[in-house]
Structure 1
Amino acid sequence: MASISSTRPLSFTIVGEPLTIKGFATTRWRIANLTPGDAGPCRLDLQLYMTERSAYRFNLTSRTPRLFIRAGEAGGMPRPDAITASQDVAAGWLDGEHQVLEVDMPLAIQAWLEAYLAHHGEAPEEGRKKKRKGAGRAREAES
């Protein structure tokens, strides 16, 4: 079986849209023109990781699969520096007070992600482990 690459270059544009919320002027940033390849003004490599396979599957089975772009500190001018297909990774970025922009995943990337999962297998089920009777408890001394 041929090897499936775990990295794809993606190009995109960041567009700012003026917005007024409760009398305050701000800018809403969004990703536009996201395409595979390195022809756009912004370029990042989407790297897939074996440890994120269940998150990729969850994303692919959602109504609208998404990509997430870390774009600097929340509230600041966007400076994209990472991209992921994992909501878990994106949530970690948000917890770190980063600005995260999201965009629909192109069909070509969805197909590539499916091929990656088919090649490497689905992530193992993360079921609850059964505890052995008495495990984790101090045993009474028998005399």
Structure 2
Amino acid sequence: MTDNLRPLSMTLVAETKRVNRFSETQWRIDDLTLGEQGPHVLFLQLYMTERAAYRFNLTSSTPRLFVRAGFTGQAPEPAAITASQDVAAGWMDGEQQVLEVAMPMAIQIWIESYLARHGEAPMEIRKKKNKGAGRAKETPTQEKPQ
């Protein structure tokens, strides 16, 4: 097995939420385990380009994993898993249903090890915008004598 790929198994459970007279079914990940023994098996793959997002997730109070589970409003069908909030946000922008679950300690340690082997992502340094940069400038026009 490569150093950037781990199989994870999960089970999903539906919960009915009631708000006033309306009820809605919400899905959540009930169980997440390492290995390929559950009803839904996905492979968590780490990418060099996502190292900053992994570090951000690991330093949060509760590191999470995110599962893309089909389109919003449909029964969930787990298709991909990530440890990057940036990737998960992109999925949600595409109308995808994203389930999240606490990251197991074994996965946190594995990601820490990955970051130690491959280095932390370089800090992004953003250039300050010059005042008025990117805007059309008005140039004074000379009036022609008549």
Structure-1-length-normalised TM-score:
0.86
Larger radius of gyration: 2
Q: How does 1:22-33 map to 2 (within 5 A)?
A: 22-33=20-31
The answer to which of 13-22 and 114-123 deviates more is 13-22
Identity %: 66
Shift of 1:130: 6.9
Displacement of 1:80 in angstroms is: 0.5
Gaps of 5+ in 1: 137-143
Q: CA deviation at 1:24?
A: 1.6
Query: Map of 1:36-47 to 2, 5 A cutoff?
Result: 36-47=34-45
Residue 33 of structure 1: CA displacement? Answer: 1.3
Q: What is the rounded CA distance, in whole Å, between the counterparts of 2:128 and 2:20 in structure 1?
A: 52
Give the total of aligned pairs.
130
Could you list the structure 1 runs, at least 4 aligned residues long, displaced by more than 3 angstroms after superposition: none
The CA RMSD measured in Å over matched residues stands at 1.7
Matches within 5 A, 1:74-113: 74-113=72-111
**Matched AA of 1:11:** S
Q: CA deviation at 1:22?
A: 3.2
Asked if 2 retains the 8 angstrom alpha-carbon contact of 1:6 and 1:116, the reply is yes
Corresponding residue of 1:7: 5
Q: Quote the Cα distance in structure 2 between the aligned partners of 1:23 and 1:69.
A: 30
Q: Which of 59, 66, 69 pairs up with 1:68?
A: 66
Query: What residue in structure 2 maps to residue 141 of structure 1?
Result: none
Counterpart amino acid of residue 79 in structure 2: D
DSSP-derived class of the 1:70 partner: strand
Quick one: which of 31, 34, 40 aligns to 2:32? Answer: 34
Alpha-carbon distance in structure 1 between the residues aligned to 2:44 and 2:80: 8
**Structure 2 residues without counterparts, runs of 5 or longer:** 135-146
Q: CA deviation at 1:128?
A: 1.9
